[in-house]
Chains A and B, each alone.
Chain A
Amino acid sequence: GQQVQQSPASLVLQEGENAELQCNFSTSLNSMQWFYQRPGGSLVSLFYNPSGTKHSGRLTSTTVIKERRSSLHISSSQTTDSGTYLCALEKGNYKYVFGAGTRLKVIA
């Protein structure tokens, strides 16, 4: 089965709305990371978050190790937030197993 499951698969927001993206892991959590994939394809790291809560601007990531889950909260969404959000589970040697992603579209 899939080690990393993301929900929802897709999401459409009106600009200014908030979003909560979920990531669940079927195996024990060593470390994890959230990535953003631009519509053009390239990926950037948003959060390296082994545990706890981290903030960056309008983004907040919360990882709960015991529950094997992580969430990404986007507040006051903007059209430039559109793209795909991927969570990934570290499997040692900084190798990652990725979820299928959440495709976000923010409309003005």
Chain B
Amino acid sequence: EAAVTQSPRSKVAVTGGKVTLSCHQTNNHDYMYWYRQDTGHGLRLIHYSYVADSTEKGDIPDGYKASRPSQENFSLILELASLSQTAVYFCASSTGGSDYTFGSGTRLLVI
């Protein structure tokens, strides 16, 4: 079954440390996205990619990097984690239209 798998499911990170969130999709979709959700709010776009080896900035890219080494994999990197980056992170894939598929999310707590 086609899916978007995120890892880890949850993580506690120390301020100033490096964090890598991983996303793997088996949908054969060209587009992949990273969103963050803060408690009680909608999702905000951090980075996205429409082809391997290329990433684009979304609406809130500061403090984040992204990497798309293959069509299936898309990572989000926090080089220097900060308290304000505590949130739930969602990865999604799409070819457009109604086939927008989300992963289950990664809960990140920065202390």
Contact = CB atoms under 8 A, between A and B. Distances in A.
Interface of A: 4, 33, 35, 40-45, 47-48, 86, 88, 93-101
B17 to A, nearest CB: 24
Contact of A45 (B35, B44, B100): B100
A38 to B, nearest CB: 10
B92 to A, nearest CB: 8
Contacts of B44: 98
Given A41-B105, A45-B101, A93-B31, 17 more contacts: A33-B100, A35-B102, A42-B103, A42-B105, A43-B102, A45-B98, A45-B99, A45-B100, A86-B43, A88-B43, A94-B94, A95-B33, A95-B48, A95-B58, A96-B43, A98-B35, A100-B40
A98 B42 contact: yes
Contact of B90 (A33, A43, A48, A93): A43
Nearest to B97: A48
9 contacts: A33-B100, A41-B104, A45-B100, A48-B100, A93-B31, A93-B50, A94-B100, A100-B41, A100-B42
A77 to B, nearest CB: 22
B34 to A, nearest CB: 11
Contacts of A42: 102-105
B59 A97 contact: yes
B31 A99 contact: no
B12 to A, nearest CB: 17
Interface residues of B, number: 28
Interface of B: 31, 33, 35, 40-45, 48, 50, 56, 58-59, 88, 90, 94-105
B85 to A, nearest CB: 18
Nearest to B100: A45
B68 to A, nearest CB: 14
Contact of B102 (A44, A48, A95): A44
Interface centre among A40, A97, A99 (most CB of B within 10 A): A97
